[in-house]
Amino acid sequence: MKRTAVIASAGFLLELALFGCASGLPPTPQASTSTPVASTTALAPGVSMKEANWYSEQVRVSGRLFLPAGFSTNAKSAAGVVLAPGWDKTAETLDGYAAELAAQGIVALAIDYRGWGRSGAELYLGERVDAYDKMRFSEQTPDLVFRRGRLDPEHQVQDIRNAITFLQSEPGVDRARVGVFGLDLGGGHVISVMAMDARAKVGVAVTPDIPGQGEEEKSFIPNATAQAEMIKLARDGAPPRTEAAARARNAQEAGLALSEYKPFWRLDAVPATSSIRFIVAEADDALDNAVNARAAARELKGPKDVQSIRGALHMLTPSQTAEAAKLTASWMKEKL
């Protein structure tokens, strides 16, 4: 079910330091020390889970951090995996995968993209603020708009990369042994992340949507419909003010963003030293495995593997999810 966008506005005193921040760099984000939160799946003996918070391009984002039994912060010896949810999903939907990874001794961080789940929203100024570069400080009372539920694939890729940075900073995690997992469109993000960021050594993509196969790699040329939508946004792109308007704007912007997102084109940039496993639904009723996972596997230079969940549709059942989780954990444990 699609999540609706939530709109809120508030007035407060904003101080703009246009030539730098007097307090220097922001503090390194730390994992939450709050009471462990509940998991939607049973945890193996000794495995624990808590909320974690960090920042992605100044937006506070949230995740669910699963720690293996016997995990110690005194030795940076544990492998870690960042888990990315699929289209319009949140971190809780990945509990089964994260719990299985933790049961196999791997630290697992399932994330909420910015504007989704427990993560902060994207912030927009609802009106003009009269500040410009010649002013060192300016005090204003602006109208703010918080937007949620937007689907911007490139922003999501950056959120995953920032989650890798956070996971590498966790005491007890070996920063040289980090992998990335993605479900559905998040599986396409696995390709993007591994093509752009060599820190992700191992990947698993489950029922992945990897747009771009069979399309000529060339600069973006909008069709007439897209061009009209882009012109409308450029000329009348003020933040929406109602739930219905936000829902419509989110759909409009998502369509444009996805039309340009081609993770398949990035396969050649994935290092030959990187390992990726694709886990597909045998009877996938939402996408064609031949032009997604199987085609992507043929393009990769490094170790790769394709596993199929027998009889599965695109939306895996609980038992099929458990099977995919075991295949995920076994690959990560072997390759990291």
Q: What is the pLDDT of residue 13?
A: 32
Coil vs helix vs strand at 215: coil
Note the pLDDT of residue 9: 36
Q: Is the pTM of this model over 0.85?
A: yes
Query: In 155-175, which positions are buried (b, 16+ CB within 10 angstroms) versus exposed (e)?
Result: bbbbbbbbbbbbbbebebbee
Residue with tokens 């939907």: 93
Secondary structure E strands in 159-208: 173-183, 200-206
pLDDT given for residue 39 in this prediction:
78
pLDDT value of residue 26: 32
> Looking at the domain 14-335, which fold is it?
Rossmann fold (3.40.50)
Average pLDDT for runs of 10 along the chain of length 336? 37 31 34 55 94 95 97 93 96 97 98 96 76 68 84 97 97 97 98 98 98 95 94 89 90 94 98 98 98 98 98 98 98 98
The dihedral sign for the CA sequence 41, 42, 44, 46: positive
Decide: 191 and 264 in contact? Cβ < 8 Å.
yes
At 27 the pLDDT is: 34
